[in-house]
A and B are shown apart, each in its own frame.
Chain A
Amino acid sequence: MYGYAGTILRINLSTGAIEKQPLDETMAEQYIGGRGFVAKLLFDELPRGIDPYDEKNLFIAATGPLSGHLVPASGKTHFGAKSPATGGYADSNMGGHFGPALKYAGYDVLVLTGRAPAPSYLFIEDGRVEIRPADAYWGQGALIAEKNMKTELGEDFQIITIGPAGEKRVRYACLSHDFGRQAGRSGVGAVLGSKQIKAIAVKGTGSLPVFDLKKAFEAGKEAYKKVAAKPGFTEWTPEGTAGITNWVNEVGVFPTRNFKTSFSDHYEEINGKAILKKLKITDKGCYCCPTPCGKYGHTKTKLGSAYVEGPEYETIALFGGNCELKTIEEVAYANYLCDELGIDTISSGAVISWTIECFEKGILSEKEIGRPVKFSDLETVDYLLEKIVAREGIGDLLAEGVKKASEKVGQGSDVFAIHVKGLEWTGYECRNAPSMMLAYMTADIGAHHSRAWVLGHDMAGAWTNVHDLVSGGGTVERQPQAQIKAESARYVIDSQHTRPLFDALGICRLQLMELGFEVENYVELFYFITGKKRQLGFSAGAVFHRTHPIRSQRGLFYPQGENGAAAGLVLRGQGLGCQWASHQRHPGSPGARRCGRCTEGRRRTGRLIF
């Protein structure tokens, strides 16, 4: 099968059984790869009703047909499981070099079931697959463990690790790779930890079959030229995702003080320019990426100094905005702590800001927390992260995420527990962005912009790539209240159906989203590599789709804070409700293909249609 490696590697960790199964052609045809494979395999094989930490949960790593090929940014891998964060469908993607290495080793997909009897790691070198003891690494930080394993196994191994957070089953523990790339969301790191797997190390020296190698080579080289011709290539790349910080702040969408306000006064201290000035050593990209968004650097704070990749925009939003850390060095240090501990910066930033608000409101006491906590305080962040990852004292509660924690704490703390389906919001405060709010509400994995990012529609009334949006934006002093327009749902659905394409192909979407590198380019590359003629563009692919009782939260009925473009604005729930209904009725909506009374854990997978 052209493009693919052709094999699914299945490992039962309880029995040690290793099986190499030929990749099913029909599955490849219908579900393409990556996120499509994750959804298909979970739907078919995940026993219903189990706890996410049950050994019967699956852990899936899936590449796509374009992963590892000469296609701009072909380094994405999708991970899937039943989510410890939401109790529902989970996937989380990661860049770097792991997926291509897995394919060169001969495998498109890795499926783990069962639980290793003792801490272990997986060793994969082409055809050789072993479950090895990981006593030497268990307990180590995710970055340190990766370094130590590279020293033991060799530089050529691509490794994913978990940190102590994954070992302790923090519900938003992440997977870590290449000293700064993470599959951050949905708690996939905790699933791997529950299986007693510390790491997966892969070295692949094989080749991938290509339908028309000559043409794929020429078209691939051409694609790099086309990406380089986009204005964003030279203008967006230097700052990467952090370059959007000013704009998000100016239009009043930057989450600050636990999503209470949407404007930060100190944004110049924590934006992309601050990274370049204060931190950066090198650009760091994923496999075959022409536009490296990673900024690897070094930070110094009063708590210590560290090498760290990032922070990228989301981390800036959650730690610089939501927890109000005042300098890029502090944000980067919080980023480093999370990376080493193996915990998602987004969810942990939201959990910490929620805790601080609980403390301010007298809902959680100094005694319960163990010390006073406050915004703009790196020590607060450091203290709470340590507690969470050790699951000590208050940390045991906070390791459950804001939804479960607020249910336990009560006293109205659920109103400012900002999440969808148990997954904390990412870096967009949506009261002035109704389409984006709708995107969060209808995201299958919970609040995540990976499903749809429609701020361009909310703010500029149009679909446009991020670079054009931001560079044309200028300074907006006060953004008019964004309107819920008739097309809002349509925009959300379009975005929700464009993004899975990249996730299924095993490539990065930023070249399209940020630079405007057109989808059509992939049609040709896909054909030369796989030999399949397809229309790309509207790929329907979503699972686990249900409503979320967002009404109880600050998002809808509480005006925003004092300053910034969206000050005092409140989003009218009724209009949004109509849009939600319209989203669900739309034939392209995954919701339209499920019964009206969908309950948690009930899924329907649509055939992925290109």
Chain B
Amino acid sequence: MMPTVIHENCSGCGTCKLVCAMENFSAVQPARALLRIEGRFPAPGDYQIHFCDQCGECADNCPVEAIVMESGVYRVDQALCTGCMICVEVCPKGVMVEQPGSEFPAKCILCGACAKICPRSAIVMPEAVTA
């Protein structure tokens, strides 16, 4: 179910971020993307893809239990979420993302759009998820 992330293939183009925002928020607004690409320059001179691995750290720390597991992914239930952003702080990958213009944070739901577009095959989803 989880994607394979191949950091060495990544060229830092950020297409994944733009597509994530278009897919999930219908917006040309990569600031809303639910994954993070970190360029480490000048040294060691490479890219790191930070991708939610559904570790559940956010859910464990949510004071109102607004983050719940649903068919393999943790989702933020906006009816319960108070916008305290504790989850944003505790996410070990920095991919619980505060949303510009919204009081709720958001996270990856494994839609697979980023893997489908990645022109360098740096994010590869198992077929079952992308279908």
Cβ contact within 8 Å between B42 and A147: yes
The reply on B117 being an interface residue by CB < 8 A is yes
B82 close to chain A: CB less than 8 A: no
A283-B9, A288-B15 known; 5 other A-B pairs, CB under 8 Å?
A208-B29, A224-B15, A282-B47, A283-B11, A290-B15
Residues of B within 8 A of A (CB-CB), count: 33
| Nearest CB of B to A300, in Å | 14
B44 touches A281 (CB 8 A): yes
Interface of chain A residues 352 through 402 with chain B (CB within 8 A): none
Q: Given A100, A206, A286, A307, which contacts B41 in the complex, CB threshold below 8 Å? A: A307
Segment from A161-169, A188-196, A291-299 that makes contact with B: A291-299
| Among candidates B23, B29, B42, B46, residue contacting A207 with C-beta atoms closer than 8 Å | B29
CA separation between A297 and B23, bound complex, in Å?
Answer: 34
Residues 99-118 (chain A) with a chain B CB within 8 angstroms:
100, 104
A283–B121 Cα distance when bound, in Å, is: 12
- Whether, in the assembled complex, B12 has its beta carbon less than 8 Å from a beta carbon of chain A, the answer is yes
Task: Give every chain A residue within 8 A of B116 (Cβ-Cβ).
Answer: 221
Report A225 CB to chain B, min CB distance, Å: 9
Q: How far is the CB of B90 from chain A (nearest CB, A)?
A: 19
A518 to B95, CA, bound (A): 37
Does A552 interact with chain B (Cβ within 8 Å)? no
What separation, in Å, do the CA atoms of A294 and B30 have in the docked complex? 22
A1 on the B face (CB < 8 A): no
Q: Does A456 contact B (CB under 8 A)?
A: no
Over the window 18-30 of chain B, the binary record of Cβ atoms lying under 8 Å from chain A Cβ atoms (1 yes, 0 no) is 1101110011111
A204 to B116 alpha-carbon distance, docked (Å): 25
A526 in the interface, Cβ–Cβ < 8 Å? no
- Shortest Cβ gap from A511 to chain B (Å): 11
8 A Cβ contacts from A132-165 to B: 143, 147, 155
A281–B45 touching, CB < 8 Å: yes
Indicate with 1 or 0, residue by residue over A210-228, a CB within 8 angstroms of chain B CB atoms: 1001000100010010011
Q: How far is the CA of A228 from the CA of B117 in the complex (A)?
A: 11
Which single member of A207, A227, A292 contacts B13 (CB below 8 Å)? A292
Contact status A282-B11, CB under 8 Å: yes
Interface status of B38 (Cβ within 8 A of chain A)? yes
- How far does the Cβ of A289 sit from chain B's closest Cβ, in whole Å? 5
Q: Could you tell me how many residues of chain A have their Cβ less than 8 Å away from some Cβ of chain B?
A: 41
- Give the distance to chain A from B88, nearest Cβ to Cβ, in Å: 14
Q: Which residues of B contact A294 (CB under 8 A)?
A: 11
Report the minimum CB–CB distance from B47 to chain A (whole Å). 6
Convert B28-51 into 0s and 1s, putting 1 for each residue whose CB lies closer than 8 angstroms to a CB of A. 111100000011011111110000
Nearest CB in chain B: distance from A325 CB, A: 21
- Verify if A342 is at the interface (C-beta below 8 Å from B): no
A69 on the B face (CB < 8 A): yes
Asked whether B100 lies within 8 Å of A217 as measured between CB atoms, the reply is no
A289–B10 Cα distance when bound, in Å, is 11
Whether, in the assembled complex, B8 has its beta carbon less than 8 Å from a beta carbon of chain A, the answer is yes
A287 interface contact, C-beta 8 A: yes
CB-based contact B28/A207 at 8 Å: yes
- The answer on a CB contact under 8 Å between B42 and A307 is yes
Interchain residue pairs A-B with the least CB separation, the first 8: A207-B29, A290-B119, A292-B11, A205-B31, A285-B11, A179-B41, A307-B42, A283-B11
Q: Is the CB of B119 within 8 A of A228?
A: yes
A296–B46 CA distance with the chains assembled, in angstroms: 8
Closest B residue to A3 using CB positions: B28
Given contacts A284-B11, A285-B13, A307-B45, contact A291 B119 (CB under 8 A): yes
CA distance A70 to B29 in the complex (A): 11
- A227 with B27, Cβ < 8 A, contacts A284-B12, A286-B13, A297-B45 known: no
Q: Given A221-B116, A282-B47, A307-B43, check contact A104 B29 (CB 8 Å).
A: yes
B41 contacts across to A, CB distance below 8 A:
147, 178-180, 296, 307
Which residues of B lie under 8 Å from residue A204 when comparing CB positions?
31
| 27 A-B residue pairs with CB within 8 Å | A68-B28, A70-B19, A147-B41, A204-B31, A206-B29, A207-B29, A208-B28, A210-B28, A221-B19, A221-B117, A224-B15, A281-B44, A283-B9, A286-B13, A287-B13, A287-B14, A288-B13, A289-B11, A289-B13, A289-B15, A290-B13, A292-B12, A296-B45, A296-B46, A297-B45, A307-B41, A307-B42
